[in-house]
Amino acid sequence: MNASPLHPMLVHLPVALAVLLPLASVGLLLAWWRGTLPRRTWLIVVVLQALLVGGGIVAMRTGEADEERVEGVVGEAAIEAHEEAAEAFVWGGGAVLALAIAASLLRNDRRARIAAAATALGTLVVLGLGYRVGEAGGALVYRHGAASAYTAGARAQPAAERAVAAQPGARLYAHDDDD
């Protein structure tokens, strides 16, 4: 039996953080503005955003390691779409991390709050980028059959067969004659 790929196990951390960070950043920003929490609590956003970026980098590396094996089953264009979306997600996350760090380091409270507000908005952009990555990854697995590269006895489906199967209205079980 083939070993399970590491990539699908690791992608969940950055994706989950992309969903949670808009809530956390807006909540902490409002608490900071209202004075119910001290400014230093913003470091929670910095740490969570750093985990998102670090997790995204690790997920990209493990995805690159799995790429050769999956290319035997999935066309290169679908893999490239997922890879490019992942790069945009990590770069976007890095930009938002820089804003979060700036918000925590700026001495001028007004400028720090502006940087924090920009961070909160940026987390929404990163959430959208994360959605694109997940959508492209889901297409690899569920539409193009990437997981079959790791199943015992799996055969690579020829590209022409995949194209026909992907057509709307294509019979899912063309070999099933039990009607």
pLDDT tens digits, 37-76: 998 999 999 999 999 999 999 999 988 888 877 877 787 8
- Predicted confidence at residue 145, as pLDDT, reads 77
CA distance 163 to 26: 44
- Alpha helices, DSSP H only, in 35-75? 43-71
| Tokens of residue 140, six digits | 């690899």
Higher pLDDT, 169 or 76: 76
Q: Which of 29-38, 95-104, 116-125, 147-156 has the lowest mean pLDDT?
A: 147-156
Higher pLDDT, 131 or 148: 131
CA distance 54 to 76: 26
CB distance 85 to 132 below 8 Å = yes
| Tokens of residue 71, six digits | 């290319």
What's the average model confidence in pLDDT over 29-35? 93
- Predicted confidence at residue 91, as pLDDT, reads 98
Statement: residue 155 has pLDDT above 70: no
Q: Is the pTM for the entire model greater than 0.75?
A: yes
User: pLDDT over 90 for what percent of the chain?
Assistant: 56
Q: Which of 49-58, 84-93, 122-131, 140-149 has the lowest mean pLDDT?
A: 140-149
- Predicted confidence at residue 172, as pLDDT, reads 47
What's the average model confidence in pLDDT over 156-163? 50
- Predicted confidence at residue 173, as pLDDT, reads 44
Statement: residue 148 has pLDDT above 80: no
Degrees, nearest 5: CA angle 158-150-82:
70
What's the average model confidence in pLDDT over 133-152? 81
What's the average model confidence in pLDDT over 66-88? 85
| Tokens of residue 136, six digits | 């492209």
